Amino acid sequence: MQRFVALALVVAVALAADEKVDEVVVKTYKRLIPADVLRDFPGMCFASTRCATVEPGKSWDLSPFCGRSTCVLSEDKPPRLLELVEDCGPLPLANPKCKLDEEKTNKTAAFPGCCPSFTCEEGATLEYPEIPTVAPVPEEIATSTTPAAEKKA
């Protein structure tokens, strides 16, 4: 429960997860942040990209951005509303042996299909900038994965 206290002081916590789809690596990030809450709807998250309130446990897309958020109720006493944000994260560092695969990148697809896809020459790998973390995302949230089938959307 102490880790949730640290979240009140931190804007974001990142956790990287790799998904390999059609021999192309798609990198997604998860971070847990304090949720926006409207005073007239205290038990619900406010989804600013939708201009709507969302119940704990429900998700919404972050269109026009490439991502998805989920309203999460913390285990704190008293519980707080948090927002689990999943998106493409930062772009990889430049690598002349890896190129953006424009044919497999669909900016209008549902998340994670809208994340940029890169194709690398054999033996080459992409390097991503370090994102500092202060506290881990709780295990029950960190282990939720995005099915690879959603990438093909």
Residue of 52, 90, 88, 89 lying closest to 71 (CA atoms): 52
For the cut 90, the answer to whether the pLDDT of residue 50 exceeds it is yes
Amino acid at 127: E
Q: What average pLDDT is seen over the chain?
A: 77
Specify which residues 11 forms β-bridges with.
none
Contacts of 40 (CB under 8 A, 6+ apart): none
Specify which residues 115 forms β-bridges with.
none
3: enclosing H helix or E strand: helix 2-9
Q: Report pLDDT digits (tens) over 76-99.
A: 888 999 999 999 989 999 999 999
Q: pTM (2 decimals)?
A: 0.67
pLDDT at residue 76, as a whole number: 86
pLDDT greater at residue 16 or residue 132: 132
Residue 93 belongs to what domain range?
2-152
pLDDT greater at residue 26 or residue 48: 48
3 state SS of 81:
strand
Residue of 100, 88, 149, 104 lying closest to 126 (CA atoms): 100
142: enclosing H helix or E strand: helix 139-142
For residue 125, give the DSSP letter: -
pLDDT at residue 142, as a whole number: 55
Tally of domains within the chain: 1
